[in-house]
Structure 1
């Protein structure tokens, strides 16, 4: 985490702090696992109401964080992630209400079968239990994680970054008030009250109290979690996302998608970081000119650099960089095969997209690119749980186990087998 804007006070006994929080979270999770859908939904609507009611206090807390972050020299992208205003805070409350309206996954039957001996088997979704979430910068994660955790029957222990400490505390206070108003356990949503890094270590070691850890942040955070965790980790890695402009792409569509995928919000994990242009694409200069006009720094290979004096040379490191800024790397490739080879070598398996009017090329790209999200003729900025109709997301998982892509309600459940017999004994 980059911000040193707040003085971090040491924790006398971080293990004892996390053990107490974990024990209370486990008790809350046991109760939440059997709370009816209507009660969970009512609690989330009450929490959304409290977010709106306390808007002035939350925005004042965010202004303090923003001032400290600017003084600490945080990047423009990090400041954009941190910033709240009336519109963004309203969107956070709306997202909490949207989760309340989603189908409850708990108890949902996945499949069923009857064995030859008459035993009836079914698999049903159940909560994970206690979910630890460690994240940076974005105060909206505090509300999103709480809402998704509650609706999926889980208790959550949240540890936000020091740069958003005041915002996170104000948002958490509103959520806790909504839970208390609804009669659900306030311990279902806990925020680690200190910023000491030792508390993170204690959370990562909390076997038996925490069932899964979800990190949401930069490389250093995810690497630390993966190295130190003694509980399972659901990883959200870099968004080194590609937009491939095929030779059969519509030029106007390609320009619009390239600018939006890169520049709509440069600091989100769904932003495109590399654009690959088929040598058969008819208008590569139009792509470069549109990006430059939008305020983007373009770094290109030799062919792209030869197109315009506004293109700087790309280094070997650029193809593996998540800029989270108004910078893009651009390379020319030989058709789909060249694009697939580049993506295979450099993608972080987050989100990759193709722009083409050739249905065959599109289907091959969708089939052969091994990423959590693969798109055709759509901006990578749609890589978002809300845009996928999931209400909100904890993050986008780039691994293969348990959940992949936007992790929302279903991703926060596991399942158990139910076996109903009539006295069968095994021969």
Structure 2
């Protein structure tokens, strides 16, 4: 039986509330900037929304894409294509047989803009005015399909949907495609475009959104005693994954190694995590086992940390229970404090942050923590970046989703 192959990251791309590409997003994150801003529309007044702000995309797709592309793609696909083109170019546009090239791009909700616009058209103007491209635009696999077409991937195009864990699970599936020998190169990540009054109203009704309308940039505050919910965000992040052999053969620049994937499910509640964190610990443990890493090797964790009362501490308690005394030398970052929560794109963006942290030996900060929760049991990187140690290092990116989906990815230096 052939041993699983090592998987490395050779390209990254992103379009986010912090920047229109990966470098500007990373620079803004290291500077502790917030991407949250008031809505530039009349939604709050028109629909009586209790939330008047979000982490909206920094660079609009119409500034980047051609008009025909805009017309045939839902915003969630537009974001994915923008990030894919950047990541593919960043990887050096590798030459690879299409049958050895895969695409795995996920969204937690899919083409919600297209779905709701289509319903409005039908209701107000009738069936004859429905756009022929409505179904290809709204289907949740549309971003994966368009990425597959963009790069000519024939090893498989997949769109795993696991709520806010979708982007991380997509990357995990891409890793497995390469480890198993099914592909040599996989473009993987997540995207979301839910900055629409309906999902905003729905999340607000579930009492999960922050209501700090008077302070958008200070609203996402993981681990602060006064946190009151997450800030909804939008955007996409994509990584180019390669087998280490394939990358070495073409002399590719390597950012880091994706050494482990851990998956689990809580079987507890449709929205709340298991309060004991058993599923979260299982995901992290399995990822470390796949990577051949011990708790003492872990130096950095990019937490899921959405800024909710229960979720934040469930995760840090899980980390402390799993790592024990080794937790004291772990640097914890909660980057949703800056980006807001990109839902299906969150895990992919935070994977990019974790890869960059390992590559540059710099953990990004957590902002807006004026008074840390006394129950926080992991050392938190606050306000300014923190240096990671030299030598071999292990980092974890956690992503959890409604429905009890848990994904942990282990990143190591290449």
Short-chain TM bin = under 0.3
TM-score by length of 2: 0.26
Q: Could you say which structure has the greater relative contact order, defined with CA pairs below 8 angstroms and 6 or more residues apart? A: 2
Please tell me whether Structure 1 or Structure 2 has the larger radius of gyration of its CA atoms: 1
Question: Comparing both structures, which one devotes a greater share of its residues to helix?
Answer: 1
TM-score by length of 1: 0.25
